[in-house]
A = this chain, B = another copy of it.
Amino acid sequence: MPKSGYLAIKGYISNMIRSKEWPPGHLLPTETELAVQFNCARATVNRALGELAEEQIIDRRRKAGSRVRDGRERMANLKIQFPCREVEAIGKEHRYVALKREICALPMILQSSSEMGQSDQCLRTEGVHYAGDTPFQFEQSWFRRDAFPELFEAGGKVKAPCVTLLEKNPFYHGSLSISASKANHVEARHLGIKMGDPLINKEYILTDGHDGTPVAVMQIRYKPDYSISCIF
């Protein structure tokens, strides 16, 4: 542990909390008091406490001071990787086999309440992502035409939709939902497993950067040997 600097202060406070010397709810010394104790400027204490608040270890409020949080709710960092990227990450060659590609009406989840009309069109794709020669993910997706016009231009070989998406904008926002289901015969055939086997599913809902309306849904199904990991 560093002997000086804001990390020393962070370490000191973390230890007091971990050792339960300062239990949840405990009121911490003020920034000024800690600055005296550590013989440093208040800005240094402020950085230490600010990071602890960011990490949800303490709660800070003006005038009320800083308190140790009830730590029963923690956060972990989960890596978000679209299918093409996930295959690359395990060091295998990514290959996409398109199965379906059709224009359809917007599914419920992509219908924005306000604007209706000609944008009311949607591309639905279905395909399998291979890691080398092994089927890895079965993908079924919907894309609003007004948000992704370039996906509708089917020029040449059909690329995986996520590849086109990431070329357009590598910084999408949205939500991820993880669930389990039983493989139906289509999913089982394309993933090379038995019907009724358990699947892990990720459902990404991508949102527009400006108004936050949903613009795409990607449903990705994985074989039961797949798992998702993170640390906390």
Q: Are A170 and B85 in contact (CB under 8 A)?
A: no
Among A171, A182, A226, A227: residue with most chain B CB under 10 A? A171
Neighbour of A78 across the interface among B57, B71, B75, B209, CB < 8 A: B75
Interface residues on A, range: 35 or more
Min distance, Cβ A66 to any Cβ of chain B, angstroms: 16
Using a CB-CB cutoff of 8 Å, which residues 151-201 of chain A contact chain B? 166, 169-182, 196-200
Copies of this chain assembled into the complex: 2
Q: Are B18 and A209 in contact (CB under 8 A)?
A: yes
Residues of B within 8 A of A182 (CB): 197-198, 224
8 A–B contacts from the bound complex (CB under 8 Å):
A54-B54, A71-B166, A72-B85, A75-B78, A75-B79, A174-B232, A176-B229, A178-B229
4 smallest CB-CB distances across A and B, nearest first, come from: A71-B170, A198-B198, A74-B80, A179-B227
